[in-house]
Amino acid sequence: MKWLVKIIRNERRALERARRRFIRKPNEAHLHDVRTTGRRFRSLLEDVAALAPSERLLRRVKRAATATDAARDATIILQLLENSVEPSELPHAQPLLDELRKREKNATLRARKELRRMRFAP
């Protein structure tokens, strides 16, 4: 099925482009892109596994997702806490805000390091 080969090739290239953008500039938007394209590609590989088995590639895509989980979690929780904290409770939130900022920075650097070692397309 030619369309299937084409669709897999396109999504694979999209993930590789997103990975490279994140490596060049590891910010929140690029992290989001690499996670979204990775999830879409993973879902495609799982949907058509019976026609186009690609276990090794699928494992690599899952590893990429795992490598970015901590950075995404820290970013989302940090933004939510910043936006929802009751002003009178800010002193109680401050240690958690500091911790989340540190966690976000370190996790993003770790994700970049992990993703540098992976390639999804030539």
Q: Which residues bind other proteins (CB under 8 A)?
A: 1, 3-4, 7, 39-40, 43-44, 46-51, 73, 76-77, 80-81, 84-86, 88-89, 92-93, 95-96
Rounded CA-CA distance 17/60 in Å is 16
CB closer to other proteins, 81 vs 109: 81
Q: Least distance in Å: CB of 97 to other proteins?
A: 11
Rounded CA-CA distance 29/21 in Å is 10
CB closer to other proteins, 74 vs 111: 74
Q: Least distance in Å: CB of 3 to other proteins?
A: 6
Residue 94's SS3 state is helix
Rounded CA-CA distance 86/88 in Å is 6
CB closer to other proteins, 55 vs 86: 86
Q: Is 82 left (phi over 0), alpha (psi -120 to 50) or beta?
A: alpha
